[in-house]
Amino acid sequence: MTAVDTNILVRFLVKDDKAQYESGLEFADALHLASSRGADKFMSFDKSLVKKAGKLTHLAVEIPK
C-alpha cells in the first residue's frame, strides 16, 4: 500500500510551495516522487524527471539500465 501526503499534492496544484512549483515537476511526476517515500531509490526513463527529482529528494535517482 502506498501512502501519499495529499497536502503536498494540493500545495503543488495551487502553486503554494515555491520550491516545488519552480522545480518544474508535472502533476504525475510529483505524485510518483511523493509516493516513493520509504524507497531506496527512484527510477525513471524520463531524463528530465531524473534530473529534477535528484534535486528534490534524498533518494538515489537513476535511469534504469
**Residue that has been written with the C-alpha cell 520509504 in this structure:** 38
pLDDT at residue 35 in the model? 82
Contact 54, 46 (CB under 8 A): no
Residue 49 maps to a domain: yes
- Res 43 pLDDT > 60: yes
Residue 19 maps to a domain: yes
Residue 47 maps to a domain: yes
Q: What is the pLDDT of residues 4-29, one digit of tens each?
A: 556 666 666 666 766 666 767 777 88
Q: Look up residue 58 and give its DSSP letter.
A: S
* Interatomic CA distance for residues 3 and 34, integer angstroms: 9
pTM: 0.60
Tally the domains of the chain: 1
Residue 29 maps to a domain: yes
Residue 11 maps to a domain: yes
Confidence of residue 46 (pLDDT cuts 50, 70, 90): confident
Residue 1 maps to a domain: no
Its domain, for residue 10, covers 6-62
